[in-house]
Amino acid sequence: MRRPDPIAREVLDAYALAGRGVHVHTTIRWWTCPFAEVEALLPDDGEILDFGCGHGHFATYLARTGPRRHVLGVDIDAAKIDIGTRVLTRDGLGGRVELRAVAPEWIPEPDRFDAIVTNDVLYLLGPDRARTALQAMAAGVRRGGTVVVKEMGAAPRWKHRINEVQERLATKVLRITAGDQLSVLPLDAIEAPLRDGGLSVRRVPLDRGYAHAHLAVVGARG
What percentage of the chain carries pLDDT values higher than 70? Answer: 86
- Whether the Cβ atoms of residue 194 and residue 219 lie closer than 8 Å to each other: yes
Q: Does the pLDDT of residue 133 top 60, yes or no?
A: yes
Q: Tell me what pLDDT residue 173 has.
A: 46
pLDDT digit string (tens) for 162-178? 555 555 554 444 444 55
Q: What class does CATH assign to 6-220?
A: alpha beta
Summarize the confidence of residues 144-166 as an average pLDDT. 71
**Residue 46: pLDDT over 80:** yes
Q: What is the pLDDT of residues 65-104, one digit of tens each?
A: 999 999 999 999 999 999 999 999 887 886 899 999 999 9
Q: 0.85 cut: is pTM over it?
A: yes
d(C-alpha 71, C-alpha 177), whole Å: 21
Mean pLDDT, the chain, rounded, equals: 88
CB 62 within 8 A of CB 50: yes
Cα separation, 156 vs 153, whole angstroms? 8
The residue extents of the domains of the chain are 6-220
Look at 166 and 112; give whichever has higher pLDDT: 112
| Per-residue pLDDT, 73 | 98
pLDDT digits (tens, 9 = 90+) for 187-222: 999 999 999 999 999 999 998 887 778 999 999 999
Q: Which residues have a Cβ under 8 Å from the Cβ of 23 and sit 6 or more positions away?
A: 12, 15, 16
Strands 214-220 and 141-152, bridge-based pairing: antiparallel
Say what the pLDDT of residue 65 is. Answer: 96
Q: What is the pLDDT of residues 181-193, one digit of tens each?
A: 557 788 999 999 9
